[in-house]
Structure 1
């Protein structure tokens, strides 16, 4: 294709890409996908159920059709199977809260040109700390992302058949790994190490799953808190590596290695980049978020993880795809 044959359509869609975040976030804020799933078929019905204007409902429907999340047929609108799976409230995989969260973050992206120039966050306020009030929303909003990954890892490790095992979740956030795995294995016990305000959220969410009696939290900073020695069968390091620099990752992985029993397994979940940095697309994009929010973080290559794990004392390392943008890494 020559330059004369090119059309600017894709570039125009990228330039206006923030409208996708806006439309999806607004639709999630008014539970449009949930109302569609419950039987609303047109703008007037959606407007009545959601308590919004008919004009606004039609505008969102048009945008969602454009985004491929709602389809038109049989005289009305309906969710696509993708939207029905990931955007209907009440489902464990629902990402509607995350869509609303990202809508609130849109303004921060406008600082990216200056952030790129200086090589990191513009103020200390953007760096994540224990007492940041955003944890209450963020921890719950991102939990659904880990449901398919935790399930994949459980299948790889045969958690349901593992009997009396001890699980350590470093920086476990919502406790979704513990909740998922304890539900699969009634003989397992889990310990989460995270900041106190986050652990308080996790205790509540894990209790709601009915497995809180086998879930323990240790309040502290995982950089400085002791993990114990040879006490756990499985350790989880999920979405931590991308916010840390190489030396901190090596140090933390070595601490985890020491906390595992002989033959124990470390499970890493993160957005992992190909060694030649040609993909995957989401992992490459996510590096910009880390530039905005962390001092040293980025999305790391498979080769980086392999080198760090080897230095930390692991020698059986494997990479596994999941039904999400994240990769699972197993190390023994």
Structure 2
């Protein structure tokens, strides 16, 4: 016999609670350098602990957790990297994305403050790009550099660069989106527009990068004024999502003024929601992260972006999805 009002099992709740632990184990493995020490070898827990100068009994617990998560494998003589860990978590390999965990460290700490941010009506883990501690800001930029580089590479494949001779990355942090573009568009004239303090940090991160040669740095704030030079392409990656609605509208208007006739704007980030506001999931949950980090930052809907772009004078507004899953918005200045 079944009861009409039978109490359901807490399956979903338990699944959500359990999903956090493997991510934290991954984070610990990256921060300690476990995957890099293993490289393409098989080592015992004692061997790895000796290389990292840590307690082998404590480390062994993490190694088994990483096996359970599917990142490490056990062979007769010890532990080794699984396929994904070998490709993406070994420092020095071309696909290395471990630096993103410096950024994730801040984001995940912020996510723990959601209840506090709501209760106290303020960003409980506030991040201010203009006044950040230089070392913290440098770590933040270093964490965003790999994804910015990948974004630039993908963007070069996704849009038509015929007639595009100059590009500006507005609020582009470390400037690596422009490096990604230049890998296949070496003749492209590129400009990074950032706060003065952030330009100093970007120059540090780009030092010795051949594709940064000739990169122009422009100190400014797109919410307040346009670029001093018109461009063929303007990139706003992860910018609008840290602004209030009023600031977002101003930034898009000033970007319009920073473009030549026929120039294009490209907006991307994790904070672009479908109009139903419950998808994609990444944008839905980053909306909470932004609330914890920024006074007015948020995930905004396609409808809001369409309105701001149209109001600024853009036409041919289009929405697309990048291979990474991030949303991409493009439009043209007549």
- With the shorter chain as reference, the TM-score category is 0.7 to 0.9
Contact 1:246 1:308 (8 Å CA) reproduced: no
For 1:154, the equivalent position in structure 2 comes to 156
Report deviation, 1:313: 1.2
User: Deviation string for 1:275-326 (max 9, x for gaps)?
Assistant: 2123222221111111111111111122221221111111112222223242
Shift, 1:205, TM fit: 3.0
2:301 matched residue in structure 1:
301
Task: Note the residue ranges of structure 2 that are not aligned, 5 or more in a row.
Answer: none
Distance 1:9 1:87, change over 3 A: farther
What is the rounded CA distance, in whole Å, between the counterparts of 1:101 and 1:191 in structure 2?
24
Mapped to 1, the partners of 2:286 and 2:94 lie a distance apart of 23
Please name the residue that 2:173 is paired with: 173
Which residue in 2 is equivalent to 1:311?
Answer: 311
Q: Unpaired segments of 5 or more residues in structure 1?
A: none
1:211 match: secondary structure: helix
The 1:57/1:10 distance shift into structure 2, 3 A limit, reads: farther
Q: 1:42-121 maps to which residues of 2 (within 5 A)?
A: 42-73=44-75, 76-91=78-93, 93-103=95-105, 106-121=108-123
Distance 2:325 2:38 in 1: 27
Secondary structure (helix, strand or coil) at the match of 1:250 reads helix
Q: Which residue of 2 aligns with 1:257?
A: 256
SS at structure 1 position matched to 2:236: strand
**Which residue of 1 is the match for residue 197 of structure 2?**
197
For residue 184 of structure 1, give the secondary structure of its aligned residue in structure 2. coil
Determine if contact 1:149/1:323 at 8 Å carries over to the other structure: no
Aligned match of 1:215: 215
C-alpha deviation, 1:179, in angstroms: 1.2
Cα distance in 2 between the residues matched to 1:246 and 1:106: 25
Give, in whole Å, the separation in 2 of the partners of 1:247 and 1:142. Answer: 26
**Of residues 18, 33, 36 in structure 1, which corresponds to 2:35?**
33
Alpha-carbon RMSD across the aligned residues, in angstroms, is 2.7
What SS does the corresponding residue of 1:226 show, helix, strand or coil? coil
Paired residues of 1:206 and 1:215 also in contact (CA < 8 A): no
Relative to structure 2, which stretch is displaced further, 79-88 or 171-180?
79-88
Classify 1:78/1:167 alpha carbon distance in 2 versus 1 (closer, same or farther; 3 Å): same
SS in 2 for 1:330: strand
Structure 1 position 6, deviation (Å): 5.7
Please give the alpha-carbon distance, in whole angstroms, between the structure 2 residues aligned to 1:262 and 1:191: 18
Render the CA deviation track for 1:21-77: whole Å, top value 9, x for unaligned.
432222112211112223143322222222222222211112212333223456643
Between stretches 280-289 and 196-205, larger displacement belongs to: 196-205
Partners of 2:87 and 2:306 in 1: CA distance: 34
Larger helix proportion of the pair: 1
Q: Is the 8 A contact 2:321 2:328 kept in 1?
A: yes
Tell me how far 1:242 sits from its aligned partner: 0.7
Q: Number of paired residues? A: 327
CA shift for structure 1 position 140: 0.8
Q: Per-residue deviation at 1:268?
A: 0.9
**Inter-partner Cα distance in structure 2 for 1:282 and 1:105:** 13
8 Å Cα contact 1:236-1:266 kept in structure 2:
yes
User: Displacement of 1:111 after TM fit?
Assistant: 3.2
* Matched residue SS, 1:167: strand
Distance 2:260 2:72 in 1: 49
Aligned position for 2:327: 327
- 1:7 is displaced (CA, Å) by 4.9
CA distance in 1, matches of 2:65, 2:93: 23
